[in-house]
Structure 1
Amino acid sequence: MDPVAALKRVAYLMERERAEARRATAFRKAARRLEGLGPRELERRLATGTLTELADVGQRTAGVAMEAAGGQVPDYLADLEERAGVPLAEGGDEVRGWLRGDLHSHSEWSDGGTPIIDMARAAIDLGHDYLALTDHSPRLTVARGLSPERLREQLDAVERLNAELAPFRILTGIEVDILDDGGLDQEPELLARLDVVVASVHSKLRMDAASMTRRMVAAVEHPLVDVLGHCTGRLVTGGRGTRPESQFDAEAVFGACLDNDVAVELNSRPERLDPPTRLLELVVDLGCRVAIDTDAHAPGQLEFLDHGCARAQDAGVPRERIVNALPLDDLLAWTNR
């Protein structure tokens, strides 16, 4: 195996099974360090066993690289591959087969851990036709939300990458904060340039139900919003602890989604699984569109779709209502509506 490829694969599989982020990051950093060496320098260090003299390369990452260079599948990688032989969730195979892409992902430009190109290549390997890059908006400073200037820089970067990756398409996008009054945390001119706008609540999640309802309905009624992200904001497990659902009039909010042709996100992150089952059933009963997204912050997390697809299949979400089951041109026709 190629040592760099082996290190990246280990990182990917660790992300897939929700290992501590720092552990997967260590393998990605080691891969980047070796990738930056000239071929002769890498060969010399492999031959002399001096990989650990490099910054970002420790004993474990060096061991994986050495085993790969020696012509064998590293033991550490083999264990991960064995565990990855089954879907992350059972029962969603039919829906998973319908999907053409993912409309919610993050890169190192905000609070993701990897470059855009790595996210895109992982999506290609999964068979996606497109991946929406939806880094955070300015107010979410804890997640390094993108100022208007940084977002413009990102749009230029995506344009260059799309020229390289065609026919695969990185969709320009944002996960824009819904402000307290229902406004959106980005310049309207910039939002209008994007392929996909996911609007989410990230602050004052314990707002009273009437105020939260008005806030969410106002955002959904904005003509540039395409998807309502993780609607209740709940956390059911994971390193950040748990968090209860935000309170709002679900029929009013989802009714506004239906009236304004905004998709309700079925967030596939295991710690979110949002909306809860009773609200997902309401979404289906009302006839809303649905976006089955991963909210991935690293390449391996793009496989979280298994969780969302299993829930969508169990809830009977029809194929024609799943926006990321649409071919690219049809999807863009909808987001540009």
Structure 2
Amino acid sequence: MERIAFLLEREDASPYRVKAFRTAAEAARRLPAGPVDAARAARLPGVGPKTAQVIAEASAGRVPGYLAELEESAGPLAEGADALRAALKGDCHLHSDWSDGGSPIEAMARTARDLGHAWAVLTDHSPRLTVARGLSVERLREQLEVVAALNRELAPFRLLTGIECDILDDGSLDQDEDLLAELDLVVASVHSRLRMERAPMTRRLLAAVRNPLVDVLGHCTGRLVGGRTRPESQFDAEAVFAACAESGTAVEINCRPDRRDPPTRLLRLAIDTGCVFAIDSDAHAPGQLDWQQYGCARAADAGLEPERIVNTLPVEELLAWTAA
């Protein structure tokens, strides 16, 4: 059931379909060992006809037919991503159900580990983004304790502490700076007034990427492509990327298929400007962690060397980079 949910998330299926299988998985855990027919499974709370059939097939020791269909169609998400994806040791940007993600912290961490990562950074939203249940100082401090406890269970895998911090209109950061300094990694992103005029938007981004607390500039243009669209924010990209290169702030290659940010022309400009990069899933569900393949394919196509990608660093080298 969990594998089906993962594969559905990976293909960006309806969240309602995914939730049905995750809910059914929780219900199935209450069943005794041994075969269970579909009629009995369907009497469990939250289990429907399709999920009941999967439970019945799995409990009898068979690979459920629906899972077999999904596995057969679950090929590579992007061509040309394999070599670079194999070089990545972590993911700098992912969300849990503490903000606008759909799964618990532990599920996100375990999935990142199972995908072969040595580390991942939990980056739930900052408080100003109320629509995403951004974390207050108190909730973020509570989360740090949860992460510390989880790391004792998951070692040697390491879940790093972080945040996706809103860049406010004046370029300042939407969180207590003393607390930000305690985190392992800070992604800074614009989520409001995305159609600000070019000059003030440039000043806003320059202030953020020059802030020594900021490690990664998230989805720099804020665009959305695909179903729901949103145009790129307008700013002096040459100036912003030059500031990133000078300050050592990584430019994020956001892997979400509805973002693909930065656009190819700006990705090439950032490469030519000498920036370093973070290839990040921006996952809001476990299956979306595999979306890093999309960013790897884009980076490989643009000729980006692995040495310029911070995700290729072992955890101690990553932490030395953020500390610097």
Normalising by the smaller structure, the TM-score range is: over 0.9
- Spell out structure 1 runs of 4+ moving beyond 3 A: none
Q: Which residue of 1 aligns with 2:261?
A: 274
Counterpart Cα distance in 2 of 1:48 and 1:245? 50
Confirm or deny: 8 A CA contact 2:253 2:262 kept in the other structure: yes
Selected match of 1:68 from 58, 71, 87: 58
Structure 2 distance, partners of 1:43, 1:302, is 33
Q: Secondary structure at the match of 1:61?
A: helix
Q: 1:168 aligns with which of 157, 176, 189?
A: 157
Within 5 Å, which residues of 2 pair with 1:93-112?
93-112=82-101
**Greater mean alpha carbon deviation, residues 117-126 or residues 257-266:** 117-126
Contact 2:38 2:55 in 1 (8 A): no
Matched, 1:153 2:142: yes
Task: Give 1:221-300 correspondences, 5 Å limit.
Answer: 221-238=210-227, 241-300=228-287
State the 1:22 CA deviation.
1.5
**Secondary structure class of the residue paired with 2:193:** coil
How far apart, CA to CA, are the structure 2 residues paired with 1:112 and 1:62? 26
The residue identity in structure 2 corresponding to 1:157 is: V
Cα deviation, 1:138-165, whole Å, max 9, x if unaligned, reads 1111111111111111100000000000
Q: CA deviation at 1:222?
A: 1.1
Cα offset for 1:61?
Answer: 1.3
* Residue of 71, 74, 77 corresponding to 2:67: 77
After TM superposition, the score normalised by the length of structure 2 is 0.97
1:307 alignment partner, one of 294, 316, 319: 294
**Pairwise CA distance, 1:33:** 2.6
Query: Matches of 1:236 and 1:278 in 2, distance apart?
Result: 15
Cα separation, 2, equivalents of 1:320 and 1:48: 52
What's the TM-score, normalizing by structure 1?
0.94
Q: Flag the 1:47–1:91 CA change in 2: closer, same or farther, 3 A.
A: closer
Distance in 1 (alpha carbons) for counterparts of 2:16 and 2:37: 28
**Quick check: 1:334 aligned with 2:321?**
yes
- Structure 1 position 92, deviation (Å): 1.7
Q: Give a deviation string over 1:99-126, Cα, whole Å, max 9, x none.
A: 1010000011111111111111111111
**Corresponding residue to 1:141 among 130, 136, 144:** 130
Return closer, same or farther for 1:48/1:305 CA change in 2, 3 Å cut-off: closer
Distance 1:48 1:274 in 2: 45
Match of 1:201 in 2: 190
Q: Which amino acid aligns with 1:62?
A: A
- Distance (whole Å) between structure 1 residues aligned to residue 245 and residue 4 of structure 2: 42
Q: Over aligned residue pairs, what C-alpha RMSD do you find? A: 1.3
Q: Are the equivalent residues in 1 in contact too, given 2:34–2:59 (CA < 8 A)?
A: no
User: Quick check: 2:38–2:56 contact (8 Å CA) kept in 1?
Assistant: no
The residue aligned with 2:47 is 57
Tell me the secondary structure at the aligned position of residue 198 of structure 1: strand
- Counting matched residue pairs gives 324
Deviation string, structure 1 residues 215-272 (Cα, Å, up to 9, x no partner): 111111111100000000111114xx11110000001111111111100000011111
Q: Point out where structure 1 has 5 or more consecutive residues left out of the alignment.
A: 1-6
Residue 97 of structure 1 deviates from its aligned partner by 1.7
Give the match's secondary structure for 1:104: strand
> Taking every aligned residue pair, what percent have the same amino acid on both sides?
64
Name the CA distance, whole Å, in 2 between partners of 1:156 and 1:327: 23
Q: Which amino acid aligns with 1:110?
A: S
Asked if the contact 2:279–2:309 (Cα under 8 Å) also holds between the matched residues in 1, the reply is yes
* One-letter identity of the residue aligned with 1:149: E
* 1:318 alignment partner in structure 2: 305
- Structure 2 stretches lacking a partner, 5+ long: none
Please report how far the alpha carbon of residue 50 of structure 1 lies from its aligned counterpart in structure 2 after TM superposition.
Answer: 2.5
Residue 115 (structure 2) pairs with residue 126 (structure 1):
yes
